[in-house]
Amino acid sequence: MDVNRKAEVLHSVIGRFFAGRTSEITAEDWVEFCDAQNDGYQTGPAIGEKVPDFMLPDQHEVRRSLSQLMGTNGLLLVFSRSAHW
């Protein structure tokens, strides 16, 4: 994806998200948004693949493990890049 298209995709989705217009964001928009963030790199586990248990602090600095948070339907964790990384 060229740099101009990447900027267009990122600004478009983020703009709609923060304007509260998330219903306008399609599945295709999210896929393109993820591709723009990750430069096409496919990282992380494959769909259906089990990951090892791990612990991370929550917003209150309480350490929680993956197994503590996992529900009967699983758990969706989303990690997004930040300008501060």
For the chain, domain boundaries:
3-69
Residue 48 and residue 14: Cα distance in Å, rounded? Answer: 28
Q: Angle at Cα 1 formed by Cα 82 and Cα 19, nearest 5°?
A: 50
What is the C-alpha separation between 20 and 30, in angstroms, rounded? 15
Phi, psi of 37 (to 5 degrees): -70, -35
- Of the chain, the percentage scoring pLDDT greater than 90 comes to 39
pTM score of the predicted model: 0.48
How much is the pLDDT for 15? 93
Q: Whole-angstrom Cα distance, residue 85 to residue 83?
A: 6
Instruction: Tell me the per-residue pLDDT of 36-78, one tens digit each, with 9 for 90 and over.
Output: 888 767 777 777 888 889 998 988 999 999 999 888 888 887 7
